[in-house]
């Protein structure tokens, strides 16, 4: 990675503004998954141990520039206090005299959490005045929020033009793992791409098809590929306007010697609901009034066989209607299989909400090589796009230049 990180920063006595991704799921005011908070702990602890004054900032949900009590960060501050074993207070607002006073009272080795940044519409608009107000709190900026690095917001891009800007340890880890996938993966290299729609992942597929040795396609997006093969998919979710894209990707795979694995049999249901009648059929025998909701056993076996020899795997997206347990079998089985491959020495990187959920629900997260905290950001990275929140960080000078000084 060619960006300066907090390893290059002497943070002692400095006020450090750390953009974290604490956009965690809440139910009845309780955090149901704190993995994003846990992922940020190494950076926070490192800065605090150096004697920095740490100002944490995050968004939560989509309040659309308005104060929403259900999206306040108090539960996050409470959980963080527990994890750090020290009190972490949350400000009443991201801006204002009260917030400024609270920050001024902080001593080295203490931290505070700003209230939800997106209570201010200026955050998502990357408003220069809002970025300047945030920058006024600190001497140094650190971005550890890979999950929002693909957004040019005031706290992810604007502020980094106003302060020396470094990558946090989580950001460093994400870029290193994903960068290695694209630049120097151990082969054979496979990608498993699932999810509902092919349209959202066309660029990823185009960018990966000549880089991987095996491309496994599942979920609703596979239906468009089946249609491109001339198969009927009944009432299934499908994008007829993307059939030509799917056909072009399959032609590119053939030209590059990339093996594409599509479902050979599928689970179909009369309705995409819990308790609906379902059965397994060949992928070219889908009844006209039924919906494809999961991969079948033969498909699962074929995917396992294709993935058995690979040394590197990237997985994004479920292979069926994961939110309905009956139709999550393929996704859960692939998660178990990949955990086994990782334990056998393969590099397995998982990114994307439902695929990560499938791993975490089965207690397999610590068996994978890396769980990416950024679904959209990891996809855009793999599309080959430059992420605004990464591009703006200080560059590391070539080793021959000597010293850690950087430039934007």
Same structural domain, 59 and 205: no
Q: Is residue 337 domain-shared with residue 318, that is, in the same domain?
A: yes
Q: Are 229 and 361 in a shared domain?
A: yes
In a domain, 304, yes or no: yes
Q: Do 240 and 118 reside in the same domain of the chain?
A: no
401 in a structural domain: no
Q: What is the pLDDT of residues 358-407, one digit of tens each?
A: 899 899 999 999 999 887 888 888 888 899 999 999 999 876 544 444 54
Q: Which of 117, 140, 174 is the last residue of a domain?
A: 174
Dist CA 237 CA 227 (whole Å): 11
Predicted pLDDT at 399: 63
Bridge partners for 348 per DSSP: 313
82 belongs to a structural domain: yes
Give CA–CA dist 353/87, Å, rounded: 30
Low-confidence ranges of the chain (pLDDT < 70): 399-408
Are 91 and 197 found together in one domain? no
* pLDDT for 224: 96
- The reply to whether 398 falls in a domain is no
**Where a domain ends, among 174, 204, 223?**
174
Question: Do residue 191 and residue 44 come from a single domain?
Answer: no
Does one domain contain both 219 and 137? no
Can you read off the two tokens belonging to residue 128? 């220069």
Quote the number of domains for the chain: 2
| Active site members | 36, 197, 353, 376
pTM for the model: 0.89
Residue 1 counted as domain residue: no
Assigned domain for 407 exists: no
Task: Give the pLDDT of residue 404.
Answer: 47
Could you tell me if 148 and 278 lie in one domain?
no
Residue 166 has a pLDDT of: 98
Sign of CA dihedral 368, 372, 373, 375: negative
Domain that includes residue 209, residue range: 185-382
Do 325 and 294 share a domain, yes or no?
yes
CATH of the domain at 61: 3.40.50.1260
pLDDT at 384: 84
**CB-based burial, 128-139: b 16+ in 10 Å, e otherwise:** eebbebbbebbe
149 and 237 inside one domain: no
Compute the distance between CA of residue 241 and CA of residue 225 in angstroms, rounded to an integer: 12
Q: Tell me which of 120, 141, 174 is where a domain ends.
A: 174
Same domain, 269 and 347: yes
13 in a structural domain: yes
Residue 291 lies in a domain: yes
Same domain for 160 and 221? no
């Amino acid at each position: 990675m060619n960006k300066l990180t907090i390893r290059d920063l002497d943070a002692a006595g400095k006020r450090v503004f750390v953009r974290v991704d604490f956009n965690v799921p809440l139910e009845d005011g309780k955090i149901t998954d704190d993995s994003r908070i846990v992922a940020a702990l190494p950076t926070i602890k490192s800065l605090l141990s150096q004697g920095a004054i740490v100002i944490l900032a995050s968004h939560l949900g989509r309040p659309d520039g308005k104060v929403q009590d259900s999206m306040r960060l108090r539960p996050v501050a409470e959980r963080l206090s527990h994890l750090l074993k020290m009190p972490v207070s949350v400000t009443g607002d991201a801006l204002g005299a009260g917030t400024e006073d609270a920050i001024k009272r902080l001593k080295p080795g203490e931290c505070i959490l700003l209230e939800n940044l997106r209570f201010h519409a200026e955050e998502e608009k990357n408003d220069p005045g809002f970025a300047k107000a945030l920058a006024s709190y600190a001497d140094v900026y650190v971005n550890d929020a890979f999950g929002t690095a693909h957004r040019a917001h005031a706290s992810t891009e604007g502020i980094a033009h106003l302060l020396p800007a470094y990558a946090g340890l989580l950001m460093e880890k994400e870029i290193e793992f994903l960068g290695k996938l694209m630049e120097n993966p151990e082969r054979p290299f496979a990608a498993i791409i699932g999810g509902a729609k092919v349209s959202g992942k066309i660029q990823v597929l185009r960018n990966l098809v000549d880089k991987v040795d095996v491309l496994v396609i599942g979920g609703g997006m596979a239906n468009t590929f089946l249609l491109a093969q001339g198969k009927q998919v009944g009432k299934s979710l499908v994008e007829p306007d993307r059939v030509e894209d799917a056909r072009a990707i399959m032609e590119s795979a053939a030209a590059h010697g990339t093996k594409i694995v599509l479902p050979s049999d599928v689970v179909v249901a009369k309705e995409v609901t819990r308790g609906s009648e379902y059965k397994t059929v060949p992928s070219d025998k889908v009844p006209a009034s039924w919906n494809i909701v999961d991969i079948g056993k033969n498909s699962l076996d074929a995917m396992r066989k294709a993935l058995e020899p690979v040394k590197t795997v990237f997985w994004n997206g479920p292979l069926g209607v994961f939110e309905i347990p009956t139709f999550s079998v393929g996704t859960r089985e692939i998660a178990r299989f990949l955990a086994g491959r990782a334990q056998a020495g393969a590099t397995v990187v998982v990114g994307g909400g439902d695929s990560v959920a499938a791993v975490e629900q089965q207690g397999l997260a610590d068996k994978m090589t890396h769980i990416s905290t950024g679904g959209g950001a990891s996809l855009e990275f793999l599309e080959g796009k430059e992420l605004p929140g990464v591009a703006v960080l200080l560059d590391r000078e070539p080793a021959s230049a000597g010293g850690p000084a950087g430039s934007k």
